[in-house]
Structure 1
Amino acid sequence: MGGRGAPEATRRLVVAVVGVVVAVAAVLCPTAAGKLGKQAKALVAIKAPLHDPGNVLWDWDLKFGNDPCHWSMVTCQKGQIQELSMTNKNLSGTLSPAVGKLRSLRYLLLSHNAISGRIPDTVGRMTLLEVLDLSNNHFSGSIPSTLGHLAKLQYLKLNNNSLSGPIPESLGTDAPMIFSLDVSFNNLSGHRPTFRTWNVFFEGNPFLSDIGSESIAPPLGPKDGKEGDLQVMSKDIFILLLCIGIGCSLVAVVAGAVLFWRRRQRERVFAVADVSVQHDPEGCLGHLKQYKFKEIRKATNNFSQTNILGEGGYGIVYKGDLDGTTVAVKRLKDRDSVVGDDQFHTEIEVISLAVHRNLLHLTGYCIANNERLLVYPYMPNGTVASKLKECVNGEPTLDWPRRKRIALGASQGLLYLHEQCDPKIIHRDIKASNVLLDEYLEAVVADFGLAKLVDHWMSHVVTSVRGTLGRIPPECFKFCHASEKTDVFCFGLFLMELVTGRVTLELHENEYEKGGILELAKELLEQSKLSMFVDRKLGSNYDSAELEELVQIALLCTMYRPCHRPKMSEIVKMLEGGDGGVAEKWESVKNIEDPNPDWSQEFVSIGINYDDENQRNSIELQAIELSGPR
């Protein structure tokens, strides 16, 4: 009996020890599922006080599981929520303090909604936060001093709200990484703290001191009751009128100077031209990390051919490993030429300051002698162009619902560039090869190499013709004009790529003799024969009504005259299903007569030099060459 008792006691002891170990491990090493579950509960708590008339947060519900990484407007990396992108979603209500539980969050984008109430103090607990954009809402109360605890915060946009009280001193003293701060157009008061950056905007806060001098006219003293001489009175009136005139002139001059200064300040936000001024001893350009050339060379295995992801007119993209993270490195061509330098600075200025979940974010750069290199996050699923050709077990990698989601994501990225950036940004070469896919096959618009910054008061920018042959809008051929409607035209062709799955949009001679891809789409739409137009890899696995609507949107986007094309905000609504009048819109414009010129002749007539290999590359390279997997 004692012999049997000893093993039993041993067994119980082992079970107890294992139980303790498991319990300790559960406390000290929580599982990824447990972490995701906590993040999911936090999102549900954030959703609760928000009013969501568009039901954009429909899947923020625990009945869909504890993994929020597949929920809408949520971006994750390695099982941690990195970004909430809820810009322009018609949300109201209040922001829950539960947002502070998302400790891994780096980007919180809530601009252009109608969210009210106070900004929760708990935002200061998100110590990894880099971008906080709460602009263009109805937030009230004071700016939380806890924001100064965010040591990694680079961009803080609180403009166009109803915030009051002083600006916390901690933002100027305890937030060392702030690169851009906008608190304009609120009801702030008190004095203006000293900041380490000049990208700070205070205008529109009449009770905030140290913004500009205010002139106060001294009151006129009461008359002593004696009737003065008419000449003296006339002289006094003349002097008074003269003083008023001089005063008004001075006010006009000062106002003009202030407006000019404000405009220059706005331009400075997107002008990081003087690298030597912005470069600090720690190797940063503003918020970007500057790498040494030897680091890049080592990361790419000395720019090995086996590491090449893609090649385009301006550069070769390599896969690399920097600081233990997989990245994509673009090594610019013609680094000795002015064009190469302009390309580098354009991408530095534009990409680094445009932050949106559907835009590729520039993270670093390198300048060494004649070398110009840009560092991006690696996109594991490559480009839309490459994925459109793929099939798994006989089924296309990009099914119909996924293609619709990609179209919406790309349109939201372009909407941010056109209507939420100041000055606006024009991409100028939207196509399937320049739209990347992240780990969840979400669209990420890339390659801002041809982007131009345009002030809102300008309708277009006159520029040289750049882009891809066959995709350049008529106005660019005829007048060298580029505007946001240029991107709309190219986006329409991108929709054609998603529908047809074609590598190129050029038709064969025996395929359709009456015109190109747009004419073919229009004819098949009128004849209700779009089944002949859709990608054969999809078979019958698509919605016929959605197909018809998507083709109508594409044709609206590619109207000959820019004024007939919709804005990106209208396109987003159409793709979201919030605008049920797509068919009506198309019916109203489909019969408008278009000049329909011979584009190839137009292209030759404007003097493009086909002997210039760089020009040829920048125009003619196909999708996979311009942007391989990032």
Structure 2
Amino acid sequence: MARTRPTPMGPSVVLVVLVVSILGGCRGEQAEIGEGLKVDLEALQAFRELITRDPTEALREWGTQSDPCRWSGIDCDVVLSSESNKREIRVVGLELWGMELEGSLARDIGRLTELRRLVIVGSKMSGRIPPEVSNCQKLDTIDLRANRFSGPISFSLAQFPLLQVLKLSENELTGTMGALFVESFDPMAHFGDTHQASELCARLEVLDIAKNRLRGELPIEISKCAQLQELSVSENSLGGGIPSTLGSLRNLRSLQLNGNLLVGLVPESLASCQKLDLLDLSENMLTGPIPRQFAQFAGETRFNFSSNDLAGAIPQGKWKAQQMALAGAFAHNANLCGWPLAKPCAPPVLAVTTGSSSGGAVRNRRSMAEGAPGPAPSGSSPAPVASAGAQDAPAPAPAQSSESNHRARKWALGLALGIVAGAIAAALLATVLRLCVFYMHKPPYLQGPIIFHPKIEPKMLAFLEKDETFTDADLVGSGGAGKVYKAKLETDGGGMEVAVKTVIVKEDAKGLFGKRQIQAELETLGCIRHRNLVTLLAYVHRPDCHLLLYQFMKNGSLYDVMKRLESGDNTMPWPIRHRIAVGTAHGLSYLHFHCVPKIVHRDLKPSNILLDENYTAHLADFGLAKVLPGADTHVTTGVAGTVGYIAPEYSQTCRFTDKSDVYSFGVVLANLLTGKDPTDQFFHTVPGGTIGSWLHQLLQSNSGRDAIDPKLRNDEFDEEILLAMKIAVFCTSDNPAERPTSKDVLIMLNQIRVADEDPSSPNAGPAPPPIV
């Protein structure tokens, strides 16, 4: 129902609103007379016509009531119309929450010129956000979260001078953030005055565009949003560095940049944002130390620096409190040390200097670098330290006899060797003691399920221990590893759909030591979380097999989808295939660069790439070839790995590396581009005998278009597909040293769909190599 609210603008306005509220019939008649409301009615009817599905019938009354102010989700008010310069009833709010609507947003939305709030949350609206929305210049809230809007952002913040909240998260938006900060538009054209471009986001308090597919860099213009309190751009593919100008946002309370491709140092200037409650920089490629100024933050501030390449000692200060005690906030940074990590920082390195009257002095290198005097023997003057720019350094003391110098050097060397030998002996003793305690007091292994999800309890998994569990179960897949079933666990918050994978155990892997290894490795894998990795929920051991419980993916595996394509039961345009490739590369890059130690997948193939309802890729079975060494997890030819996807060097070295995974990824990418199975007999007839060598030859002869999947040919994406073919060839080089890293592959794949939008990005990374 409409909510007609008087505005504090005088007795006449209050009287109009009271009459309108009490006399429903008169109000309806009055609404029809107003020209502005007629325009609003037409705009809303156009909006309704583009809704293709309304499962909750939320908009049913839109077709039965002639007065839009009575429709659900519509809010009206008496306003001073910018068109007529008169007070009239107009639509000021369109708010549709969780209605699961399907369709697209009509261009006529721009005709709602008095709209204050545009809210469509939790539906399945798709297509581009029309640029006409910029005509609604009185908007203070735009909230289009949790839909399926796609394409680049088509409006600027300069077009909404009153905007306070912009939320576009959980969509499929592409392009860069730069469009939001275009300043050339005159934002006050309909308001009788003008604002300077520097005020393009003067009132903005919330900017949330997380969980999209944005690329490019963080614009430095964000720092002009002086009132900004929440900034979230997490889980995109943004690159470049973190602008130091973000430190000027003194009202910032939440900064979430996690899950991107950000590089460089963590700016010291962020320490100026003393109102921060949350700072999340995890899952990027940041390097260098955590600025020591961060120690000034209050203990209530939550931080997450995990899964980067940060190094050095963790600053100690006010922030040593509450959740900061959790080492997870700093995990997966190989070179970070200090509290709260279990890895202590190395003691200061000692340097030996000679030349004093006693034959030498031991000094701290850091003290020397800072010019602080080191300790000297009693009765002697400090030994001089040679350094660049030391113009007034005192002359060295007279040289001692060679015998005295020799004794000093022997004494220093013996001291150093003694310290090293003692440290090694202590470490070995500690390791032996820990192993003894571990094997004496560790509870029995594999006596019950290993659970990694907080809502799952052991009793929910009891049915998996029974032999008849899978007799009538819903089989969703099968292969060399066993079978995959769909099951439902009853939790306190409702049912949870899971996929139960059976992994057959060979006899030589049933020993106690093997079981201990399995549990230790699975405990590691179960703690790994990334949006492009399938989450391991629990593990159950049975005498004949291992049972792995994963989150259930509605679209099955990439293998299933490609089979449906082959039979003509499905279509998959290039943007979706590109999304799958990028997601796969993102997951692989996380395993290789953000897990300590790195995890090699060992069996990357289409059946191990699962797709959710949005065709986002999730890697499954990562590391299982190592975790379950005695399990039948592959279709093999005497070595680990799957036929057609095995890197050629494995058959000679019997070793898997991250470059082996890159080779397998190249084969998967070639499969996506060509629609051809790499195990097809056809490839036995071509030189090289692989799908990669076949593509190489076609690209060399400028015949690459002949290899494109016929379902993708002759459309606007041919050039992008050809660039992707070059990446596939690059990945499937016979020489591992010539293959890119998974991180490089991710950057290149992102580049081919953003090349025309941001070609000058200095952090764009390597381009696909020429085919020669």
TM-score under structure 1 length normalisation: 0.63
Alpha-carbon shift at residue 222 of structure 1 (Å): 1.0
- Name the amino acid aligned to 1:559: S
- Name the amino acid aligned to 2:558: V
- Name the amino acid aligned to 2:461: E
Aligned residue for 1:85, secondary structure, equals coil
Aligned residue for 1:491, secondary structure, equals helix
- Aligned counterpart for 2:768 among listed residues 576, 579, 582: 582
Aligned residue for 2:642, secondary structure, equals coil
Separation of aligned partners in 2, 1:514 and 1:493 = 14
- Aligned counterpart for 1:142 among listed residues 288, 294, 314: 294
Separation of aligned partners in 2, 1:206 and 1:274 = 37
- The answer to whether the 8 A contact 2:240-2:262 is kept is no
Separation of aligned partners in 2, 1:10 and 1:386 = 61
Alpha-carbon shift at residue 468 of structure 1 (Å): 0.8
Residue 243 of structure 2 aligns with which residue?
A: 93
Residue 624 of structure 1 aligns with which residue?
A: none
- The answer to whether the 8 A contact 1:179-1:287 is kept is no
Residue 342 of structure 2 aligns with which residue?
A: 200
- Name the amino acid aligned to 2:420: A
Separation of aligned partners in 2, 1:61 and 1:579 = 24
- Higher RCO structure, 1 or 2 (CA under 8 Å, sep 6+): 1
Residue 221 of structure 1 aligns with which residue?
A: 378
After superposition, the Cα gap between the structure-2 partners of 1:356 and 1:181, relative to the gap in structure 1 and judged at 3 Å, is closer
Which segments of 5 or more consecutive residues in structure 1 lack a partner in the other structure?
A: 1-7, 48-53, 75-80, 208-213, 225-232, 454-463, 588-630
- Name the amino acid aligned to 2:586: Q
- Aligned counterpart for 2:97 among listed residues 6, 31, 35: 31
Matched, 1:415 2:589: yes
- Name the amino acid aligned to 2:501: K
- Aligned counterpart for 2:499 among listed residues 328, 331, 348: 328
Larger Rg: 2
Matched, 1:480 2:654: yes
Aligned residue for 1:546, secondary structure, equals helix
- Aligned counterpart for 2:463 among listed residues 270, 289, 297: 297
- The answer to whether the 8 A contact 2:449-2:540 is kept is no
Aligned residue for 2:720, secondary structure, equals helix
Aligned residue for 1:245, secondary structure, equals helix
Aligned residue for 1:421, secondary structure, equals coil
- Aligned counterpart for 1:252 among listed residues 420, 424, 434: 420
Matched, 1:84 2:234: yes
Which segments of 5 or more consecutive residues in structure 2 lack a partner in the other structure?
A: 1-20, 29-69, 76-91, 99-118, 123-141, 146-162, 186-206, 216-230, 350-361, 365-373, 382-400, 628-637, 753-763
Matched, 1:500 2:674: yes
Separation of aligned partners in 2, 1:494 and 1:22 = 49
- Name the amino acid aligned to 1:435: I
After superposition, the Cα gap between the structure-2 partners of 1:527 and 1:377, relative to the gap in structure 1 and judged at 3 Å, is same
Alpha-carbon shift at residue 88 of structure 1 (Å): 7.8
- Name the amino acid aligned to 2:321: S
- The answer to whether the 8 A contact 1:42-1:99 is kept is no
Residue 212 of structure 2 aligns with which residue?
A: 71
After superposition, the Cα gap between the structure-2 partners of 1:408 and 1:476, relative to the gap in structure 1 and judged at 3 Å, is same
Alpha-carbon shift at residue 399 of structure 1 (Å): 0.8
CA offsets 1:123-162 (integer angstroms, 9 cap, x no match)? 6469xx99787953665322476676769x9968794379
Residue 591 of structure 1 aligns with which residue?
A: none
Alpha-carbon shift at residue 256 of structure 1 (Å): 5.3
CA offsets 1:99-144 (integer angstroms, 9 cap, x no match)? 8569xx9976676444413366676469xx9978795366532247
Separation of aligned partners in 1, 2:690 and 2:307 = 47
- Name the amino acid aligned to 2:470: F
Separation of aligned partners in 2, 1:510 and 1:223 = 82
- Name the amino acid aligned to 1:330: K
- The answer to whether the 8 A contact 2:234-2:258 is kept is yes
Residue 734 of structure 2 aligns with which residue?
A: 560
After superposition, the Cα gap between the structure-2 partners of 1:111 and 1:255, relative to the gap in structure 1 and judged at 3 Å, is farther
Matched, 1:168 2:319: yes
- The answer to whether the 8 A contact 1:88-1:112 is kept is no
Alpha-carbon shift at residue 178 of structure 1 (Å): 5.0
Alpha-carbon shift at residue 476 of structure 1 (Å): 0.9
Q: Single out whichever of 508-517 and 444-453 deviates more from structure 2.
A: 508-517
Aligned residue for 1:433, secondary structure, equals helix
- The answer to whether the 8 A contact 2:481-2:503 is kept is yes
Alpha-carbon shift at residue 355 of structure 1 (Å): 3.3
Residue 426 of structure 1 aligns with which residue?
A: 600
Separation of aligned partners in 2, 1:536 and 1:219 = 81
Matched, 1:436 2:610: yes
Q: Single out whichever of 239-248 and 477-486 deviates more from structure 2.
A: 239-248
Residue 743 of structure 2 aligns with which residue?
A: 569
- The answer to whether the 8 A contact 2:214-2:238 is kept is no
Alpha-carbon shift at residue 408 of structure 1 (Å): 2.2
CA offsets 1:258-286 (integer angstroms, 9 cap, x no match)? 99899x9xxx9xxx99995699xx99768
Separation of aligned partners in 2, 1:215 and 1:288 = 52
- The answer to whether the 8 A contact 1:177-1:287 is kept is no
Alpha-carbon shift at residue 497 of structure 1 (Å): 0.5
Alpha-carbon shift at residue 494 of structure 1 (Å): 0.8
Separation of aligned partners in 1, 2:274 and 2:283 = 13
Alpha-carbon shift at residue 432 of structure 1 (Å): 1.7
Separation of aligned partners in 2, 1:368 and 1:123 = 49
After superposition, the Cα gap between the structure-2 partners of 1:43 and 1:14, relative to the gap in structure 1 and judged at 3 Å, is closer
- Name the amino acid aligned to 1:571: V
Normalized per residue, the structure richer in helix is: 1
Aligned residue for 2:613, secondary structure, equals coil
After superposition, the Cα gap between the structure-2 partners of 1:69 and 1:215, relative to the gap in structure 1 and judged at 3 Å, is closer
- The answer to whether the 8 A contact 1:143-1:164 is kept is yes
- Name the amino acid aligned to 1:426: V
After superposition, the Cα gap between the structure-2 partners of 1:21 and 1:245, relative to the gap in structure 1 and judged at 3 Å, is closer
TM-score under structure 2 length normalisation: 0.53
After superposition, the Cα gap between the structure-2 partners of 1:518 and 1:202, relative to the gap in structure 1 and judged at 3 Å, is same
- Name the amino acid aligned to 1:309: V
Alpha-carbon shift at residue 486 of structure 1 (Å): 0.9
Aligned residue for 2:591, secondary structure, equals helix
Aligned residue for 1:329, secondary structure, equals strand
- Name the amino acid aligned to 1:91: G
Separation of aligned partners in 2, 1:286 and 1:177 = 18
Aligned length: 518
After superposition, the Cα gap between the structure-2 partners of 1:13 and 1:367, relative to the gap in structure 1 and judged at 3 Å, is farther
Separation of aligned partners in 1, 2:347 and 2:669 = 44
Aligned residue for 1:582, secondary structure, equals coil
- Name the amino acid aligned to 1:89: G
- Name the amino acid aligned to 1:72: R
Aligned positions of 1:3-402 closer than 5 A: 31-32=97-98, 33=119, 37=142, 57=177, 68=209, 71-72=212-213, 84-85=234-235, 89-94=239-244, 112-116=263-267, 117-118=269-270, 124=277, 136=287, 140=291, 141-143=293-295, 159-160=310-311, 164-166=315-317, 168-171=319-322, 178=328, 181=331, 200-203=342-345, 219-222=376-379, 243-253=411-421, 276=442, 291-292=457-458, 294-295=460-461, 297=463, 302-303=469-470, 305-322=472-489, 323=491, 324=494, 325-334=496-505, 338=509, 341=515, 344-345=518-519, 348-349=522-523, 351-367=525-541, 372-390=546-564, 397-402=571-576
- The answer to whether the 8 A contact 1:380-1:438 is kept is yes
After superposition, the Cα gap between the structure-2 partners of 1:331 and 1:61, relative to the gap in structure 1 and judged at 3 Å, is farther
Alpha-carbon shift at residue 506 of structure 1 (Å): 1.7
- What RMSD over aligned residues (CA atoms) do the two structures have, in Å? 5.8
Separation of aligned partners in 1, 2:236 and 2:507 = 42
After superposition, the Cα gap between the structure-2 partners of 1:60 and 1:558, relative to the gap in structure 1 and judged at 3 Å, is farther
Alpha-carbon shift at residue 296 of structure 1 (Å): 5.7
Separation of aligned partners in 2, 1:342 and 1:311 = 27
Separation of aligned partners in 2, 1:164 and 1:239 = 41
